[in-house]
Copies of this chain bind each other. A is one copy, B any other.
Amino acid sequence: MAVKTGNNTFVLNRPVFVRNTACIVGQKEKQGPLGRYFERSEKDDFDMDTWEQAEARFVGETYSSLLAGSPGVEENMIDCVLGGDLLNQCTASACGLKKSGRPYLGLFGACSTMAESLLIGSLLIDGGGAENVVCITSSNFCSAEKQFRFPLELGSQRAPNSQWTVTGSGAALLSSQGDGPQITAVTPGIICDYNVTDTNNMGASMAPAAASTILMHLGDLNRDFSYYDLVVTGDLGRVGHALCGDILKLHGVGAEEARHQDCGMMIFDPSQGTCAGGSGCGCSATVFAAYLYKQLKEKAVNRLLFVATGALMSPVSVKQGEPILGIAHAIAIENIGKGAPA
């Protein structure tokens, strides 16, 4: 049974292993700095007729690949699938998973969805009811541009603060059985409203949420930032990452550069023309599934705080003058089993 600690953090008691991960990314992601960690890449359209169907295919094939790569876990052992995405009414997840035949719980956490699914999934397993839960999310540059910004055909100029939606789907299989990295504590985030209304600056809208959740997590557990080998925010990009660091500093939390990174900055190189960095549900999901999980498995990182961030907005809400709300959830993943360093 999880124990609520401090204001908003749940410390897990039953082992919850990240048993396996899977991901498929697009071509641009494959060409980026993490390219060698992305085993499979596909074109943005994934040979489908529409961008939305392509995104659903990324989800469906990532789900299949996760199960195929998880010996000992048959599909009927999956207690539920937690999924969501950025498309209106989260259709990429529903369409992509419709053949799974497993109970489905849809989430909407914008780009924080990967952390939200890990949070709920780990608590369901810790609570004893579930043994195996799949967490999955996706985004697609083309479906996102079409829905949130401009038709691709316009070739619109991009603002330097803007971010580039990652094409890809990432998934994790959480399990009560296994070995390797375990989720040890989770901190669900609070909606932050700093009255940011610039849709070309999502980093600014999410940075206060990331900082707030990190501070809450560390405070609740009475931990220093240096407890973690790596604190990775979701997809703040360069602008949001710098703001997040500034806010942490204001609160007396020094974040060394190597210890404090951001998935949106890790996935693309500035030379790729991606402005402030990557974004989208698929950004933190694929960086986690391909790179961070491998770092944990290889014990290059033993204590990871994964803080995926989301901007809660729609084109309609922004046009009606609503601020872009930020949210971030924190997931502590540690090597604490046999073979882990003391």
User: With contacts A88-B89, A89-B108, A312-B91 known, is A3 near B129, CB below 8 A?
Assistant: yes
Q: What 1/0 mask marks residues of chain A from 94 to 128 whose CB sits below 8 Å from any chain B CB?
A: 11011011111111111000001001100110111
Which of A89, A130, A325 counts the most chain B CB atoms within 10 A? A89
- In the complex, what distance in Å separates the CA atom of A90 from the CA atom of B84? 12
- Assuming the contacts A105-B107, A109-B106, A317-B91, asked whether A80 and B126 have C-beta atoms less than 8 A apart, the reply is no
Distance (Å) between the CB of A255 and the closest chain B CB? 23
Q: This chain: how many copies in the complex?
A: 2
A45 to B270, CA, bound (A): 46
Tell me whether A191 is interfacial, beta carbon within 8 Å. Answer: yes
Residue interface mask A67-105, B partner, CB < 8 A = 1: 000000000100110001011111100110110111111
Q: How many residues of A contact B (CB 8 A)?
A: 64
Indicate whether A271 reaches chain B with its CB closer than 8 angstroms.
no
Give CA–CA (A53, B101) in the complex, Å.
Answer: 37
Bound-state CA distance A8–B84 (Å) is: 21
* CB within 8 Å for A188 and B89 given contacts A1-B127, A4-B129, A128-B2: no
Question: What's the Cα separation between A129 and B116 when bound, in Å?
Answer: 16
Q: List 22 A-B contacts (CB under 8 A).
A: A3-B128, A4-B129, A4-B131, A49-B320, A52-B316, A53-B320, A88-B314, A88-B315, A89-B108, A90-B108, A91-B313, A94-B191, A94-B312, A98-B325, A104-B189, A105-B119, A105-B120, A106-B108, A107-B107, A107-B108, A108-B108, A124-B127
Q: A88-B89, A89-B110 are in contact. List 4 more A-B contacts (CB 8 A).
A: A91-B312, A98-B325, A104-B188, A104-B190
